[in-house]
Structure 1
Amino acid sequence: MLLFRTVITGIGSYIPPHIKTNQEFVSQDFYTEDHERIVATPNEIIEKFRDITGIEERRYVGDEFNASDMAIVAAKHAIEDAGIDPETLDQIIVAHNFGNVVKHTIQTDILPALASRVKQALGIRNPNCVAYDLLFGCPGWIQGVIQADAFIKAGIAKKCLVIGTETLSRVIDKYDRDSMIFSDGAGASVIEALEPLENGSGILASSVQSHCVDEAYYLNMGKSYKPGADPCVRYIKMKGRKVYEYAMKHVPLAMKACLEKAGIHVTEVKKFFLHQANEKMDEGFVKVLYKLYGLKDIPEHVMPMSIHKLGNSSVATIPTLFDLVKRGILDNHDIHRGDVILFASVGAGMNINAVCYRV
């Protein structure tokens, strides 16, 4: 008999205040990985970029803020939403990829861990509240939720704080077209062990995969595409076509595997909360998933999206999107008690994961 269910009792986010529109890239020169200048005009590059990704603008954090600062703000919102005493937390899990990158530097600072900084800022004195960081690419927040669920089911923890935070604007090569995808942000959630409610709220199932053969370096760190750039300075790089083909092949399968574990049919899913990396790719995930069930017609408003205005903030995209929908900020999107939703993500590693959840 199930004694406890893992439930998200609080959610919060930090959306940076600085908006960078596509038009602000008009004066930028872009180069290929072979350091050859792209001959298309900046306007042509930007229009094609928007058509593919759906991104119109993105958010960058202010000079005075780091990833840990955003994590702290998001955490406070989630704790307030959950109505808990921070001292009762058993674990703080902070997912990121680059730690704190101080403005005007390209150096990662993860000493101490971001989770330790969050714990200190929250004023938690309880030594049994274990704080640690998690590196799992863009699926990091979902992976933190999966870990929290495992600890709860093992009887190790009852309350966990899971955060995703990233300042990708500080690790991008401005001469790379892909740099326009990335943004900053943070999302946090309080995960608790609760006695099963009548409607069965909580995590129903999860699935995780890592493909690390040919796929391992689809996202990596490399030198600027600008000719003559300092090879000692590294930036985030992405093999866009490879990532797209990989994701389209494997993500829908992982989503279906998760639903099958939960005993949920795809038509029972009210909303799909997918990593906000590429609008057409996310639409493709859902289309292929329905096709795997022999279905062609996809319901309207089944997939909320924030990528148009917020860009790709890596580990922060899904918890931020979930927070926006829960607070009723996105048009045509809401969720209610008893609704089934699916979280799914893909990213560097290459890693894929999904969580089926009943609100």
Structure 2
Amino acid sequence: MTYSKIIGTGSYLPAQRVTNDDLAARLGAKGIETSDEWITTRSGITARHYAAPDENASDLAVYAARNALEAAGLEAEQIDLIIVATSTPDFFGSFPSTACIVQNKLGMRNNSAAFDMGAVCSGFVYALSTADAFIKAGHAKNVLVIGTEVFSRILDFDDRTTCVLFGDGAGAVVLSATEEPGVLAIKLHADGSYGDILCGPSNPGNASGNRKYLYMDGPAVFKLAVTVLEKVANEALAHAHMPASDIDWLIPHQANLRIMAGTAKKLGLSAEKMVVTVHEHGNTSAASIPLALDIAVRDGRIKPGHNVMMEGVGGGFTWGAVLARM
């Protein structure tokens, strides 16, 4: 039987690091009061990175992809499929897709398939599950899965409740066909009835309104997230016939430290078993899980054979979990 396994990880953060004090000064110039303490207390975030004016989601993705390919020991031409999870594509309407742009920038001429995945902060989990399905069906051997975002472009800097939470970045993995289990369990969900609590900018001429920036009902998102993240993690564990105590590392979507800590506690996991990058990166949406995964792999925390639970929740409303053995 064919399985899929993560054989390489990579990530990239734009050069511009923006601290809470930097944002406080920017908002203060508009007469909007905020502070490092106010932001940190509510989110756990102390800094984030913003893309340069000439950097697009595809540029961040290419850097992360190259790092993942190098770690996997593969050339770009050996990739059969590229899936890019993003809510901030290079082009309006996502055509050409960011995945096709990444393929071109990587210099790939093998006509590998490429497409984008839209599930917001759950995007990487959805994309990873799709890659796993392609491999298990025999349609691909090596798949490049990327989460990349430039959320700084869709933030309302007159709204301190949202603009302080998000950042830009990219993370990538190479998922390859193997004879031993790597991806152990996947569970995905969606509920469109919650679509109005977290929304991006509307299309021009949208009959339901002309929203220019991201909108989020923070309390409603928080309430839903803490409920579904615990449930979906337990569903994945049940599918794999594995107790939570066998999880070596929990990598939740890096959105809010209180949500993340609450999920770990409900699963009976100590804080030491959770990978946390939200304090330095903010919420990078589809990039947050692969970004955190790469950092923990490269600093030696995550080792071969470790069981890693990755889970995300995002606008749509979507949520899901992937349990993988590294």
- Match 1:265 to one of 238, 243, 251: 243
- Match 1:167 to one of 150, 171, 196: 150
CA 1:300/1:21 → structure 2, altered by over 3 Å: closer, same or farther? closer
Segments of structure 2 that go 5 or more residues without pairing to the other structure are 203-208
- Are residues 1:58 and 2:48 paired? yes
Q: Which structure's CA Rg is the greater one? A: 1
- Are residues 1:324 and 2:308 paired? no
Following the alignment from structure 1 to structure 2, what is the Cα–Cα distance between the partners of residues 156 and 222?
Answer: 35
- Are residues 1:301 and 2:272 paired? yes
Q: TM-score, normalised by structure 1?
A: 0.84
Structure 2 counterpart of 1:91, which letter?
L
Match of 2:206 in 1: none
Cα shift at 1:174 = 0.2
Match of 1:26 in 2: 24
Cα shift at 1:149 = 0.6
Please say which of residues 138-147 and 108-117 is displaced more in the overlay: 108-117
Count of matched residue positions in the alignment of Structure 1 and Structure 2: 317
1:220-231 pair list within 5 angstroms: 220-221=199-200
Following the alignment from structure 2 to structure 1, what is the Cα–Cα distance between the partners of residues 168 and 198?
Answer: 18
- Are residues 1:253 and 2:231 paired? yes
Aligned partner of residue 259 in structure 1, secondary structure: helix
1:17-96 pair list within 5 angstroms: 17-29=15-27, 41-43=33-35, 46-96=36-86
Match of 2:191 in 1: 211
Q: TM-score, normalised by structure 2?
A: 0.93
Q: Deviations over 1:227-247 (max 9, x none)?
A: xxxx85600010100000011
Following the alignment from structure 1 to structure 2, what is the Cα–Cα distance between the partners of residues 84 and 310?
Answer: 28
Structure 1 counterpart of 2:297, which letter?
K
Following the alignment from structure 1 to structure 2, what is the Cα–Cα distance between the partners of residues 85 and 57?
Answer: 34
For the Cα contact (< 8 Å) 1:253–1:289, is it kept in 2? no
For the Cα contact (< 8 Å) 2:184–2:325, is it kept in 1? yes
For the Cα contact (< 8 Å) 1:100–1:109, is it kept in 2? no
Cα shift at 1:42 = 2.4
Match of 2:117 in 1: 134
Match of 1:115 in 2: 99
Match of 1:228 in 2: none
For the Cα contact (< 8 Å) 1:28–1:175, is it kept in 2? no
Following the alignment from structure 2 to structure 1, what is the Cα–Cα distance between the partners of residues 60 and 306?
Answer: 29
Aligned partner of residue 277 in structure 1, secondary structure: coil
Following the alignment from structure 1 to structure 2, what is the Cα–Cα distance between the partners of residues 304 and 171?
Answer: 27
Q: Structure 1 runs of 4+ off > 3 angstroms?
A: 27-30
- Are residues 1:244 and 2:222 paired? yes
Q: Deviations over 1:180-216 (max 9, x none)?
A: 00100001111100122xxx4x000010110111x11
Structure 1 counterpart of 2:231, which letter?
L
Higher helix share: 2
Following the alignment from structure 1 to structure 2, what is the Cα–Cα distance between the partners of residues 20 and 60?
Answer: 7
